[in-house]
């Protein structure tokens, strides 16, 4: 399997790392979630969802978002930025790059966790791209955390909101390897903190109402999947809420569990990293892309 490393250089001074898995089919753009990088989609040994879909014929472009992974500069050296800087500036750069490299005017997104929130927000905020986007795969993606349990109290209320705010106030950003392999800028942390508690999906910078936009601009066919053991970061109830507010229906949401015929009750991470994926739910993702991208 042939891979090529690219860097997209922004006129603002930062660069985005992209790992391309060579293929001949429709291009896929992989967008990771918070406190992680594109490596959630692949391993050094050639395992993972991106290599799998490349073997199915897709051109796969795995992105490290701004100041994450191998993108430069790292968080500790980067100026503060928020998620709307990523949506307004970085996403168009990524799409233009993928279209140039793939020689294709169309593409699909594959996301994990908060990456799916960014994808839907981008497409609704910039609907001129909707015609070019054939489909989306959102894995363990929620916007608002509405479920009430111990995991939500510990990981969201205590760690993400309370301690996350204190650490970012002291350091100026959330450093890597505190909650996950990567960190967050002060701006992106605040933006996610606003949305995980808010019933309204609204851009605080200009009061843009994404719920209204989802009714005006239907999103491409989208598959939402999550695991039974994802207790708060991608709980099935919150994933379903996000699918519905994005204009999808209940039939677009799939829970990976033994009860539903899958090999494992997956959690937030092993849904992408488990060795069972290629023999379990990865083929379902490939089939969805094949049908949607005809």
Tokens of 133: 């986007």
Contacts of 210 (CB under 8 A, 6+ apart): 120, 121, 124, 125, 201, 202, 203, 245
Domain count, the chain: 1
Q: Which residues neighbour 261 within 8 Å (Cβ) at sequence distance 6 or greater? A: none
120: Cβ contacts below 8 Å, ≥ 6 apart: 136, 138, 210, 214, 219, 242, 246
Question: What pLDDT digit, counting tens, does each position of 218-231 carry?
Answer: 999 999 999 999 99
> Cα 239 to chain center, whole Å?
13
Q: Which domain holds residue 97?
A: 3-292
**CA distance to 41, 114, 196, 234, 237, per residue, from 242 (Å):** 22, 11, 11, 10, 9
- Give residue 294's pLDDT: 65
Length of the chain: 294
**Rounded CA separation 201/210 (Å):** 6
Q: How far apart are CA 239 and CA 132, in angstroms?
A: 25
Give CA angle at 220 (43, 223), nearest 5°.
50
pLDDT-derived band of residue 185, with 50, 70 and 90 as boundaries? very high
Query: Is 26 in contact with 293 (CB distance < 8 Å)?
Result: yes
Rounded CA-CA distance 27/30 in Å is 10
What span, in angstroms and rounded, lies between the C-alpha atoms of 48 and 43?
6
Confidence of residue 293 (pLDDT cuts 50, 70, 90): confident
* pLDDT at residue number 205: 82
Is 31 in contact with 118 (CB distance < 8 Å)? yes
Q: Is the pLDDT of residue 155 over 90?
A: yes
Mean pLDDT over the full length of the chain: 96
| Secondary structure letter of residue 129 according to DSSP | G
Greatest CA span in the chain, whole angstroms?
50
* Alpha-carbon span 243 to 36, nearest angstrom: 22
Top pLDDT among 45 and 222 is at: 222
Instruction: Give the predicted TM-score (pTM) of the model.
Output: 0.97
Q: What pLDDT score does 206 carry?
A: 85
- Report H helices in the chain: 49-55, 83-85, 91-102, 114-125, 150-151, 164-171, 186-197, 210-216, 236-245, 270-273, 282-292
Say if residues 53 and 286 touch (Cβ distance below 8 Å): yes
Q: Is the pLDDT of residue 186 over 70?
A: yes
CB 281 within 8 Å of CB 225: yes
How much is the average pLDDT of 45-50?
A: 94
Which range is least confidently modeled, 57-66, 156-165, 202-211, 262-271? 202-211
CATH code of residue 255: 3.40.50.1820
Mean pLDDT of 86-90: 97
pLDDT at 122: 98
pLDDT tens across 119-152, in order? 999 999 999 999 999 999 999 999 999 999 999 9
Q: Let me know: does 225 contact 238? Beta carbons within 8 Å.
A: no
């Amino acid at each position: 399997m042939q891979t090529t490393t690219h860097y997209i250089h922004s006129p603002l001074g930062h660069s985005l790392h992209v790992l391309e898995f060579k293929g001949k089919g429709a291009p896929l753009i992989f967008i990771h979630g918070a406190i992680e990088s594109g490596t959630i989609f692949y391993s050094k040994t050639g395992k993972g969802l991106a290599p799998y879909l490349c073997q199915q014929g897709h051109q796969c472009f795995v992105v490290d978002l701004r100041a994450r992974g191998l993108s430069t500069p790292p968080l500790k050296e980067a100026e503060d930025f928020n998620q709307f800087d990523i949506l307004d500036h970085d996403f168009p750069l990524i799409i233009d790059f993928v279209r140039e490299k793939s020689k294709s005017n169309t593409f699909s997104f594959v996301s994990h966790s908060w990456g799916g929130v960014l994808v839907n927000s981008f497409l609704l905020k910039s609907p001129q791209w909707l015609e070019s986007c054939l489909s989306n795969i959102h894995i363990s993606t929620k916007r608002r955390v509405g479920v009430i349990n111990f995991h939500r109290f510990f990981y969201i209320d205590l760690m993400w909101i309370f301690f996350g705010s204190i650490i970012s106030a002291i350091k100026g950003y959330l450093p890597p390897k505190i909650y996950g392999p990567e960190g967050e800028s002060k701006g992106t942390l605040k933006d996610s903190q606003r949305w995980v508690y808010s019933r309204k999906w609204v851009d605080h910078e200009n009061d843009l109402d994404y719920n209204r936009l989802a009714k005006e601009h239907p999103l491409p066919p989208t598959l939402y999947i999550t695991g039974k053991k994802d207790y708060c970061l991608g709980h099935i109830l919150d994933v379903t809420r996000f699918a519905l507010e994005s204009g999808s229906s209940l039939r677009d949401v799939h829970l990976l569990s033994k009860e539903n015929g899958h090999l494992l009750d997956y959690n937030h991470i092993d849904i992408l990293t488990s060795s069972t994926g290629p023999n379990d739910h990865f083929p379902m993702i490939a089939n969805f892309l094949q049908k949607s991208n005809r």
